[in-house]
Structure 1
Amino acid sequence: MKTEGARAVADAGGIFWGVWWGLIGLASTQGLVFSAWKDADAALAGAGKALASPDIVDSTLELLEPTVRPTDHTPPARRGVYAFRTFEIAEAAWPEFSALSTGAWKTFEPGYDARIFGLFRYLAVPPPRRRLLLFTNYPSMAVWEKSRLRQLHRGGDDSAPAAKANLSARLDVTDWSRVVIGVPA
Protein backbone atom coordinates (compact mmCIF):
# COMPACT_ATOMS: atom_id res chain seq x y z
CA MET A 1 0.00 0.00 0.00
CA LYS A 2 2.79 2.43 0.91
CA THR A 3 4.67 2.08 -2.39
CA GLU A 4 1.51 2.06 -4.51
CA GLY A 5 0.08 5.02 -2.60
CA ALA A 6 3.27 7.05 -2.91
CA ARG A 7 3.39 6.46 -6.66
CA ALA A 8 -0.31 7.32 -7.10
CA VAL A 9 0.01 10.55 -5.12
CA ALA A 10 3.13 11.61 -7.06
CA ASP A 11 1.41 10.83 -10.37
CA ALA A 12 -1.51 13.05 -9.28
CA GLY A 13 0.82 15.95 -8.36
CA GLY A 14 0.98 15.48 -4.59
CA ILE A 15 3.69 14.59 -2.10
CA PHE A 16 3.25 11.37 -0.15
CA TRP A 17 4.11 11.93 3.52
CA GLY A 18 3.62 8.38 4.73
CA VAL A 19 1.52 5.70 6.37
CA TRP A 20 1.32 5.11 10.12
CA TRP A 21 -0.17 2.14 11.94
CA GLY A 22 -2.01 2.96 15.13
CA LEU A 23 -0.58 2.00 18.52
CA ILE A 24 -2.96 4.04 20.70
CA GLY A 25 -6.32 5.48 19.71
CA LEU A 26 -7.01 3.36 16.62
CA ALA A 27 -8.21 -0.17 16.04
CA SER A 28 -5.51 -2.74 15.25
CA THR A 29 -6.63 -2.70 11.61
CA GLN A 30 -6.55 1.09 11.21
CA GLY A 31 -3.88 3.50 10.11
CA LEU A 32 -3.25 7.06 8.93
CA VAL A 33 -2.15 8.18 5.47
CA PHE A 34 -0.78 11.70 4.95
CA SER A 35 -0.11 13.51 1.70
CA ALA A 36 0.54 17.16 0.77
CA TRP A 37 -1.11 19.01 -2.11
CA LYS A 38 -0.85 22.49 -3.62
CA ASP A 39 -4.44 23.31 -2.56
CA ALA A 40 -7.74 21.78 -1.40
CA ASP A 41 -8.98 21.21 -4.96
CA ALA A 42 -5.87 19.20 -5.81
CA ALA A 43 -6.27 17.20 -2.59
CA LEU A 44 -9.91 16.43 -3.35
CA ALA A 45 -9.01 15.34 -6.88
CA GLY A 46 -5.94 13.27 -6.01
CA ALA A 47 -5.95 12.10 -2.40
CA GLY A 48 -8.26 9.16 -3.05
CA LYS A 49 -5.65 7.69 -5.39
CA ALA A 50 -3.37 7.05 -2.41
CA LEU A 51 -6.11 4.91 -0.92
CA ALA A 52 -6.89 2.90 -4.06
CA SER A 53 -5.67 -0.38 -2.62
CA PRO A 54 -7.56 -3.63 -2.10
CA ASP A 55 -6.20 -3.61 1.47
CA ILE A 56 -8.21 -0.47 2.29
CA VAL A 57 -11.91 -1.11 2.81
CA ASP A 58 -12.94 2.24 4.31
CA SER A 59 -11.43 5.70 4.52
CA THR A 60 -12.17 9.26 5.61
CA LEU A 61 -10.62 12.29 3.93
CA GLU A 62 -9.72 15.20 6.22
CA LEU A 63 -8.55 18.38 4.52
CA LEU A 64 -5.90 20.12 6.59
CA GLU A 65 -4.16 23.44 6.07
CA PRO A 66 -0.71 24.18 7.52
CA THR A 67 -0.57 26.99 10.07
CA VAL A 68 2.83 27.86 11.61
CA ARG A 69 4.37 24.52 10.53
CA PRO A 70 5.29 22.97 8.18
CA THR A 71 6.92 25.69 6.15
CA ASP A 72 7.58 23.28 3.27
CA HIS A 73 6.26 19.90 2.08
CA THR A 74 9.22 17.75 3.15
CA PRO A 75 7.84 14.40 4.40
CA PRO A 76 8.83 13.27 7.89
CA ALA A 77 11.56 10.64 7.85
CA ARG A 78 12.41 10.10 11.52
CA ARG A 79 12.05 6.75 13.23
CA GLY A 80 10.15 6.43 16.48
CA VAL A 81 6.53 7.13 17.31
CA TYR A 82 4.29 9.87 15.98
CA ALA A 83 1.62 11.65 17.99
CA PHE A 84 -1.37 12.99 16.07
CA ARG A 85 -3.04 15.25 18.66
CA THR A 86 -6.32 16.96 17.80
CA PHE A 87 -7.29 20.13 19.67
CA GLU A 88 -10.53 22.07 19.55
CA ILE A 89 -10.45 25.71 20.57
CA ALA A 90 -12.51 28.86 20.07
CA GLU A 91 -11.44 30.74 16.94
CA ALA A 92 -10.75 33.78 19.14
CA ALA A 93 -8.20 31.73 21.13
CA TRP A 94 -6.10 30.94 18.03
CA PRO A 95 -3.52 33.78 18.40
CA GLU A 96 -2.78 32.79 22.01
CA PHE A 97 -2.80 29.05 21.23
CA SER A 98 -0.38 29.61 18.34
CA ALA A 99 1.99 31.80 20.39
CA LEU A 100 2.01 29.34 23.31
CA SER A 101 2.68 26.41 20.95
CA THR A 102 5.54 28.00 19.03
CA GLY A 103 7.01 29.34 22.26
CA ALA A 104 6.95 25.87 23.80
CA TRP A 105 8.61 24.19 20.83
CA LYS A 106 11.86 26.13 21.32
CA THR A 107 12.73 24.10 24.41
CA PHE A 108 10.34 21.16 24.01
CA GLU A 109 12.00 19.81 20.84
CA PRO A 110 15.57 19.78 22.17
CA GLY A 111 14.43 18.76 25.66
CA TYR A 112 12.75 15.59 24.40
CA ASP A 113 14.52 15.03 21.05
CA ALA A 114 11.05 15.59 19.58
CA ARG A 115 10.19 17.13 16.22
CA ILE A 116 7.02 19.08 15.48
CA PHE A 117 6.26 18.32 11.83
CA GLY A 118 3.09 20.33 11.65
CA LEU A 119 0.25 22.19 13.26
CA PHE A 120 -2.64 21.96 10.83
CA ARG A 121 -6.14 23.45 10.77
CA TYR A 122 -9.09 21.23 9.81
CA LEU A 123 -10.82 23.00 6.91
CA ALA A 124 -14.21 21.39 7.64
CA VAL A 125 -14.58 23.12 11.03
CA PRO A 126 -15.76 26.71 10.51
CA PRO A 127 -15.54 29.63 12.94
CA PRO A 128 -16.41 30.26 15.73
CA ARG A 129 -14.57 26.95 16.36
CA ARG A 130 -11.10 25.92 15.26
CA ARG A 131 -9.88 22.32 15.19
CA LEU A 132 -6.17 21.65 14.88
CA LEU A 133 -3.91 18.65 14.36
CA LEU A 134 -0.47 18.68 15.96
CA PHE A 135 1.84 16.16 14.25
CA THR A 136 4.86 15.33 16.47
CA ASN A 137 7.62 12.72 16.36
CA TYR A 138 9.25 11.23 19.48
CA PRO A 139 12.16 8.75 19.61
CA SER A 140 10.04 6.27 21.61
CA MET A 141 6.86 5.78 23.62
CA ALA A 142 8.94 6.25 26.77
CA VAL A 143 9.97 9.74 25.63
CA TRP A 144 6.39 10.61 24.66
CA GLU A 145 5.20 9.49 28.10
CA LYS A 146 7.97 11.47 29.83
CA SER A 147 6.88 14.62 28.00
CA ARG A 148 3.30 14.53 29.27
CA LEU A 149 2.26 17.43 31.49
CA ARG A 150 0.97 15.11 34.20
CA GLN A 151 4.58 14.05 34.83
CA LEU A 152 5.41 17.66 35.67
CA HIS A 153 2.42 17.92 38.01
CA ARG A 154 3.52 14.74 39.82
CA GLY A 155 7.02 16.11 40.14
CA GLY A 156 8.35 13.30 37.94
CA ASP A 157 9.95 15.08 34.99
CA ASP A 158 11.60 18.47 34.98
CA SER A 159 12.81 18.58 31.37
CA ALA A 160 11.94 21.73 29.42
CA PRO A 161 10.12 23.61 32.22
CA ALA A 162 9.53 26.70 30.04
CA ALA A 163 7.90 24.52 27.39
CA LYS A 164 5.71 22.84 29.96
CA ALA A 165 4.60 26.21 31.37
CA ASN A 166 3.50 27.23 27.85
CA LEU A 167 1.77 23.90 27.28
CA SER A 168 -0.03 24.17 30.61
CA ALA A 169 -1.27 27.65 29.64
CA ARG A 170 -2.29 26.26 26.23
CA LEU A 171 -4.54 23.76 28.01
CA ASP A 172 -6.41 26.71 29.50
CA VAL A 173 -7.53 27.84 26.02
CA THR A 174 -8.23 24.29 24.79
CA ASP A 175 -11.79 22.98 24.92
CA TRP A 176 -10.75 19.36 24.33
CA SER A 177 -7.96 17.28 22.86
CA ARG A 178 -7.29 13.66 21.99
CA VAL A 179 -4.28 11.79 20.69
CA VAL A 180 -3.55 8.92 18.33
CA ILE A 181 -0.07 7.40 18.49
CA GLY A 182 1.29 5.66 15.42
CA VAL A 183 4.45 4.14 13.99
CA PRO A 184 5.62 4.37 10.38
CA ALA A 185 4.36 1.45 8.32
Structure 2
Amino acid sequence: MPFPAHRYLVQRIRADRQLTPERAAELARQWRESCTANGVVPWGVFAGLLGLRTDELLIVAAAETDDAEWPALPGLAVEDGLDCRPTARPERPEAQSRPGIYVFRTFEIASADVDEFVRLSAEAWQTFEAAPAYRAEPRALLRADLPGASSRMLLVTWYDGLASWERSRQPDPEARANFEARARLTRWALPIATRLV
Protein backbone atom coordinates (compact mmCIF):
# COMPACT_ATOMS: atom_id res chain seq x y z
CA MET A 1 0.00 0.00 0.00
CA PRO A 2 1.42 3.46 -0.85
CA PHE A 3 2.51 5.91 1.80
CA PRO A 4 -0.19 8.61 1.51
CA ALA A 5 1.93 11.01 3.54
CA HIS A 6 4.40 11.31 0.68
CA ARG A 7 4.01 14.20 -1.71
CA TYR A 8 5.13 14.04 -5.31
CA LEU A 9 5.92 17.29 -7.06
CA VAL A 10 5.77 16.96 -10.84
CA GLN A 11 7.07 19.97 -12.77
CA ARG A 12 7.56 20.88 -16.41
CA ILE A 13 10.62 23.10 -16.55
CA ARG A 14 11.95 25.13 -19.46
CA ALA A 15 15.48 26.22 -20.34
CA ASP A 16 16.52 29.29 -22.32
CA ARG A 17 17.39 27.17 -25.38
CA GLN A 18 17.14 23.65 -26.74
CA LEU A 19 18.63 21.08 -24.37
CA THR A 20 21.43 18.92 -25.73
CA PRO A 21 21.71 15.46 -24.17
CA GLU A 22 24.87 16.62 -22.38
CA ARG A 23 23.24 19.72 -20.89
CA ALA A 24 20.15 17.75 -19.87
CA ALA A 25 22.37 15.17 -18.14
CA GLU A 26 24.28 17.91 -16.29
CA LEU A 27 21.05 19.60 -15.16
CA ALA A 28 19.71 16.24 -14.00
CA ARG A 29 22.90 15.61 -12.01
CA GLN A 30 22.68 19.03 -10.32
CA TRP A 31 19.00 18.54 -9.54
CA ARG A 32 19.56 15.08 -8.03
CA GLU A 33 22.30 16.48 -5.80
CA SER A 34 20.00 19.30 -4.65
CA CYS A 35 17.23 16.82 -3.91
CA THR A 36 19.51 14.64 -1.83
CA ALA A 37 20.84 17.67 0.08
CA ASN A 38 17.25 18.69 0.92
CA GLY A 39 16.10 15.21 1.98
CA VAL A 40 13.91 14.86 -1.11
CA VAL A 41 13.81 11.73 -3.29
CA PRO A 42 14.78 12.54 -6.92
CA TRP A 43 12.17 10.25 -8.53
CA GLY A 44 13.27 11.18 -12.05
CA VAL A 45 14.25 13.66 -14.74
CA PHE A 46 12.70 13.03 -18.15
CA ALA A 47 13.33 14.47 -21.62
CA GLY A 48 10.63 14.43 -24.26
CA LEU A 49 10.34 12.07 -27.18
CA LEU A 50 6.78 13.03 -28.16
CA GLY A 51 4.66 15.86 -26.78
CA LEU A 52 7.32 17.90 -24.93
CA ARG A 53 9.35 20.82 -26.26
CA THR A 54 13.07 20.29 -26.85
CA ASP A 55 13.91 22.99 -24.29
CA GLU A 56 11.83 21.31 -21.56
CA LEU A 57 12.19 18.54 -19.00
CA LEU A 58 9.76 16.84 -16.65
CA ILE A 59 11.08 16.46 -13.11
CA VAL A 60 9.48 14.43 -10.34
CA ALA A 61 10.50 14.61 -6.68
CA ALA A 62 9.01 12.98 -3.59
CA ALA A 63 9.09 14.09 0.04
CA GLU A 64 7.68 12.82 3.32
CA THR A 65 6.54 16.18 4.65
CA ASP A 66 4.38 19.05 3.46
CA ASP A 67 7.11 21.56 4.31
CA ALA A 68 9.84 19.97 2.19
CA GLU A 69 12.18 22.33 0.36
CA TRP A 70 11.78 21.48 -3.31
CA PRO A 71 15.01 22.01 -5.22
CA ALA A 72 15.12 24.46 -8.10
CA LEU A 73 17.56 24.75 -10.96
CA PRO A 74 18.99 28.22 -11.66
CA GLY A 75 18.12 29.57 -15.08
CA LEU A 76 15.17 27.21 -15.60
CA ALA A 77 11.56 28.36 -15.44
CA VAL A 78 8.80 26.23 -13.96
CA GLU A 79 6.08 26.22 -16.63
CA ASP A 80 3.55 24.21 -14.65
CA GLY A 81 3.35 21.56 -11.99
CA LEU A 82 1.19 19.21 -9.99
CA ASP A 83 1.38 18.62 -6.24
CA CYS A 84 0.32 14.99 -5.95
CA ARG A 85 -0.29 12.13 -3.55
CA PRO A 86 0.22 8.47 -4.47
CA THR A 87 -2.73 6.14 -4.99
CA ALA A 88 -2.21 2.48 -5.99
CA ARG A 89 1.45 3.10 -6.89
CA PRO A 90 4.21 3.70 -6.02
CA GLU A 91 4.35 2.00 -2.65
CA ARG A 92 7.42 4.02 -1.72
CA PRO A 93 9.33 6.76 -3.52
CA GLU A 94 12.35 5.35 -5.33
CA ALA A 95 14.45 6.97 -8.03
CA GLN A 96 13.69 5.55 -11.47
CA SER A 97 16.61 3.83 -13.18
CA ARG A 98 15.34 1.51 -15.92
CA PRO A 99 16.23 2.50 -19.47
CA GLY A 100 13.27 2.65 -21.81
CA ILE A 101 10.25 4.86 -22.41
CA TYR A 102 8.24 6.55 -19.66
CA VAL A 103 4.80 7.73 -20.77
CA PHE A 104 3.24 10.44 -18.60
CA ARG A 105 -0.54 10.38 -19.11
CA THR A 106 -2.51 13.10 -17.35
CA PHE A 107 -6.27 12.63 -16.93
CA GLU A 108 -8.84 15.10 -15.64
CA ILE A 109 -11.77 13.47 -13.84
CA ALA A 110 -14.42 14.33 -11.27
CA SER A 111 -13.02 14.06 -7.73
CA ALA A 112 -15.94 11.77 -6.86
CA ASP A 113 -14.61 9.26 -9.42
CA VAL A 114 -11.04 8.99 -8.10
CA ASP A 115 -11.54 5.76 -6.12
CA GLU A 116 -13.23 4.04 -9.06
CA PHE A 117 -10.53 5.30 -11.45
CA VAL A 118 -7.82 3.85 -9.18
CA ARG A 119 -9.69 0.54 -8.78
CA LEU A 120 -10.16 0.13 -12.54
CA SER A 121 -6.49 0.92 -13.15
CA ALA A 122 -5.14 -1.48 -10.52
CA GLU A 123 -7.38 -4.31 -11.74
CA ALA A 124 -6.36 -3.74 -15.37
CA TRP A 125 -2.67 -3.85 -14.49
CA GLN A 126 -2.95 -7.49 -13.36
CA THR A 127 -3.28 -8.69 -16.96
CA PHE A 128 -1.75 -5.63 -18.67
CA GLU A 129 1.66 -6.21 -17.06
CA ALA A 130 1.63 -9.96 -17.70
CA ALA A 131 1.02 -9.74 -21.45
CA PRO A 132 3.69 -11.60 -23.47
CA ALA A 133 3.39 -9.29 -26.52
CA TYR A 134 5.06 -6.29 -24.86
CA ARG A 135 6.91 -5.16 -21.74
CA ALA A 136 5.19 -2.50 -19.63
CA GLU A 137 4.92 -1.55 -15.98
CA PRO A 138 2.81 1.25 -14.49
CA ARG A 139 5.26 2.97 -12.12
CA ALA A 140 2.98 5.61 -10.57
CA LEU A 141 -0.65 6.66 -10.38
CA LEU A 142 -0.73 10.02 -8.62
CA ARG A 143 -3.64 12.26 -7.63
CA ALA A 144 -3.73 16.07 -7.58
CA ASP A 145 -6.88 17.78 -6.35
CA LEU A 146 -7.95 20.95 -8.15
CA PRO A 147 -10.22 23.77 -6.98
CA GLY A 148 -13.84 22.72 -7.26
CA ALA A 149 -14.79 19.10 -7.81
CA SER A 150 -12.06 18.04 -10.25
CA SER A 151 -8.90 16.01 -9.87
CA ARG A 152 -5.93 15.31 -12.10
CA MET A 153 -4.58 11.80 -12.22
CA LEU A 154 -1.05 11.24 -13.47
CA LEU A 155 -0.18 7.76 -14.68
CA VAL A 156 3.50 7.09 -15.42
CA THR A 157 4.06 3.84 -17.31
CA TRP A 158 7.42 2.31 -18.24
CA TYR A 159 7.85 0.49 -21.56
CA ASP A 160 11.02 -1.14 -22.87
CA GLY A 161 10.54 0.80 -26.13
CA LEU A 162 8.04 2.52 -28.39
CA ALA A 163 7.23 -0.80 -30.10
CA SER A 164 5.97 -2.16 -26.77
CA TRP A 165 3.91 0.97 -26.23
CA GLU A 166 2.33 0.49 -29.66
CA ARG A 167 1.57 -3.21 -29.06
CA SER A 168 0.09 -2.40 -25.64
CA ARG A 169 -2.69 -0.44 -27.38
CA GLN A 170 -4.27 -3.90 -27.91
CA PRO A 171 -4.33 -5.21 -24.32
CA ASP A 172 -5.91 -8.36 -22.91
CA PRO A 173 -9.76 -8.23 -23.02
CA GLU A 174 -10.03 -7.90 -19.22
CA ALA A 175 -7.62 -4.98 -19.14
CA ARG A 176 -9.32 -3.42 -22.17
CA ALA A 177 -12.72 -3.50 -20.43
CA ASN A 178 -11.27 -1.68 -17.41
CA PHE A 179 -9.47 0.88 -19.58
CA GLU A 180 -12.70 1.56 -21.49
CA ALA A 181 -14.60 2.04 -18.22
CA ARG A 182 -11.83 4.36 -17.03
CA ALA A 183 -12.09 6.34 -20.27
CA ARG A 184 -15.78 6.94 -19.58
CA LEU A 185 -14.77 8.67 -16.32
CA THR A 186 -12.22 10.86 -18.13
CA ARG A 187 -12.95 14.42 -19.25
CA TRP A 188 -9.67 14.64 -21.17
CA ALA A 189 -6.25 12.97 -21.24
CA LEU A 190 -2.80 14.08 -22.40
CA PRO A 191 0.03 11.57 -23.01
CA ILE A 192 3.69 12.61 -23.20
CA ALA A 193 6.37 10.07 -24.13
CA THR A 194 9.75 10.61 -22.47
CA ARG A 195 13.08 8.99 -21.74
CA LEU A 196 14.90 9.03 -18.42
CA VAL A 197 17.84 11.45 -18.31
Common topology (TM > 0.5): yes
Q: Quick one: structure 1 residues 170 and 57, their matched pair in 2 at CA, closer, same or farther if it must change by over 3 Å?
A: closer
Displacement after TM superposition at 1:57 (Å):
4.3
Per the alignment, residue 154 of structure 1 pairs with: none
1:34 to 25, 43, 60: 60
Offset from partner CA, 1:56-83 (integer Å, 9 cap, x none): 2444342111111111011222111001
Identical columns (%): 35
CA distance in 1, matches of 2:47, 2:116: 32
- Which secondary structure state, in structure 2, belongs to the residue aligned with residue 89 of structure 1? strand
Structure whose residues are more often strand by fraction: 2
2:35 to 2, 5, 9: 9
Q: Quick one: structure 1 residues 61 and 97, their matched pair in 2 at CA, closer, same or farther if it must change by over 3 Å?
A: closer
Conserved? CA contact 2:108–2:186, under 8 Å:
yes
The 5-angstrom pairing of residues 89-168 of structure 1 reads 89-111=109-131, 112-123=134-145, 125-148=146-169, 157=170, 159-168=171-180
Conserved? CA contact 1:40–1:63, under 8 Å:
no
2:108 to 73, 88, 93: 88
CA distance in 1, matches of 2:185, 2:82: 24
Displacement after TM superposition at 1:116 (Å):
1.1
Conserved? CA contact 2:97–2:196, under 8 Å:
no
* TM-score relative to the length of structure 1: 0.85
CA distance in 2, matches of 1:18, 1:95: 26
Task: Kindly provide the amino acid, as one letter, of the partner of residue 38 in structure 1.
Answer: E
The 5-angstrom pairing of residues 18-33 of structure 1 reads 18-33=44-59
* TM-score relative to the length of structure 2: 0.80
Task: Kindly provide the amino acid, as one letter, of the partner of residue 133 in structure 1.
Answer: L
- The gaps in structure 1 that reach 5 residues or longer are 149-156
Moved over 3 A (4+): 57-61
Conserved? CA contact 1:115–1:136, under 8 Å:
yes
Conserved? CA contact 2:109–2:151, under 8 Å:
yes
CA distance in 2, matches of 1:175, 1:89: 6
Per the alignment, residue 153 of structure 1 pairs with: none
Per the alignment, residue 174 of structure 1 pairs with: 186
CA distance in 1, matches of 2:117, 2:73: 37
Task: Kindly provide the amino acid, as one letter, of the partner of residue 115 in structure 1.
Answer: E
Displacement after TM superposition at 1:127 (Å):
4.3
Superposition RMSD in Å? 1.6
- The gaps in structure 2 that reach 5 residues or longer are 1-26
Structure whose residues are more often helix by fraction: 1
- Which secondary structure state, in structure 2, belongs to the residue aligned with residue 41 of structure 1? coil
Per the alignment, residue 67 of structure 1 pairs with: 87
Conserved? CA contact 1:68–1:119, under 8 Å:
yes
Displacement after TM superposition at 1:142 (Å):
1.2
Displacement after TM superposition at 1:95 (Å):
2.2
Per the alignment, residue 4 of structure 2 pairs with: none
- Which secondary structure state, in structure 2, belongs to the residue aligned with residue 79 of structure 1? coil
